[in-house]
Amino acid sequence: MRVGILGGGQLAMMMIQSCIDDNVEFVVVDPSDNPPANKYVKCIKSEFDNTEMLDRLSRECNVVTIDFENVPSSALKYLENKIDVHPNSKAVELCQDRLKEKKLFEECKIPVTRYGKIDDLDNLYTSKESFSNGAILKSRFFGYDGKNQVDLDSTDLETAFEACGSDKLIIEEKVDFIKELSLIGARDKKGKTAFYPLVENNHVNGILHTSIAPYDDDYLQTKAQSYHNLLTKKMNYVGVLVIEFFLDSKNKLIANEMAPRVHNSGHWTIEGANISQFKAHIKSVTGEEINHIKVDRCAVMMNILSTMPDLTLFDQTDPVKIYDYGKTERKDRKLGHITIVDVDKNNLLNRIKELEKYTT
């Protein structure tokens, strides 16, 4: 079995690592010179919409997947005429556009915050008046890790409009939430989904800082899974899909966004589950079934940003595992992560606080 991956970042790298002992080969395409996946396979340097490269993938691979959602959907559509592609181009296109994503949530009767389409500055001035509880302005496209979004309560509208790109924007009412949660599910080709427990996420400056699992709440778990099933069925989705939620003071889940790929909030699954999200994704897209996801310990994942710490300072014996993606240092760039697993959640939280002094 040979899998093509469009994108050679750390997510592709960890997909490859997850199958190191399996009968799976990988062909990775990335436009950069030395992406993280290069540690394990020689990556093809190419833009994603290069038809010669896409033809090569269709000849050499059994299936093609992605490691980030901003791969051009046109490239996926081109491949779909020649080879299996998961997730499919339509699902990726929906997840790339915050407006289409919100409309899909509504079609599936999934709660979302109030929002509106913004096409010009006059439209923004008019719309802002109706958001009395505060609002966020976001680009509909290419928004992640807090990028291309501005709090309109702390920035004048003209500056915010320009900061978000002055084109194809969306305004969203602020959500008075108490927690941010995510649900990871891997759906196979027969339409069966294996779910991980809900994860509690904490962000700093719009970037994920820690993910803690499991978040034990049977009612919310069942509700989130029902939303996930509605979306994957609607999109005819295969592979890992992650939905990020706000949890409000009334114990209501409000969908924020989704990711058509393995996700930062699921890195803990490598050590914390019997099957990692990365292996689950590859199993799903290659036609295998996932019989059971088992999580019998607590786990916490903390991102390493901007500067890679001196790893000799860490005791890397179990239960601590440190990942270095091999990236050059840059402000707010995800350079690696730390995972800790323990049967006692309080031990995890105390240990991660100790490690923070080396990573901030």
What is the reported pLDDT for 145? Answer: 61
Q: Let me know if 325 is exposed, middle or buried by CB neighbors in 10 A (0-12, 13-18, 19+).
A: buried
Residue 191's CB: how many other CB atoms inside 10 A? 12
- Give mean pLDDT, residues 16-27: 94
Report the mean per-residue pLDDT for the chain.
93
Residue 351 above 90 pLDDT? no
Express as a percent the part of the chain with pLDDT over 70: 98
Structural domains of the chain ordered from first start: 2-85 (3.40.50.20), 114-173 (3.30.1490.20), 177-359 (3.30.470.20)
pLDDT of residue 206: 85
Note the pLDDT of residue 318. Answer: 63
Q: How far apart are CA 110 and CA 94, in angstroms?
A: 15
Q: Which residue is listed with tokens 């299996």?
A: 84
Tens of pLDDT, residues 38-55: 999 999 999 999 999 999
Nearest-10 crossing angle of helices 218-235, 98-107: 110
Q: What is the Cα–Cα distance from 73 to 110, expressed in whole angstroms?
A: 25
24-43 residues labelled b (16+ CB within 10 A) or e (exposed) = bebbbbbeeeebbbbebbeb
Amino acid occupying residue 11: L
Token look-up 């509690």 returns 200
pLDDT in tens, 158-192: 999 998 887 899 999 999 999 999 999 999 999 99
Of residues 357 and 302, which shows the higher confidence score? 302
The encoded tokens of residue 245 equal 């939620």
> pLDDT confidence of 355, banded at 50, 70, 90?
confident
Which pLDDT tens digit goes with each residue over 188-222? 999 999 999 999 999 988 899 999 999 999 999 99
DSSP string spanning 123-151?
HHHHHHTT-TT-EEEEESSS--TTTTEEE
CB burial of 337-355 (b: ≥16 within 10 Å; e: otherwise) equals bbbbbbeebeebeebbeeb
The string of pLDDT tens digits covering residues 288-343 is 999 899 999 999 999 999 999 887 777 666 678 899 999 999 999 999 999 999 99
* CA–CA gap between residue 344 and residue 352 (Å, rounded): 13
Asked whether 155 and 248 are in contact (CB, 8 A), the reply is no
pLDDT single digits (tens) 100-152: 999 999 999 999 999 999 998 999 998 988 888 899 999 999 866 667 889 99
Type of residue found at 163? A
Query: Residue range 12-38: average pLDDT?
Result: 95
Evaluate if residue 271 carries a pLDDT over 70. yes
Is the C-alpha dihedral spanning 314, 315, 320, 326 positive or negative? positive
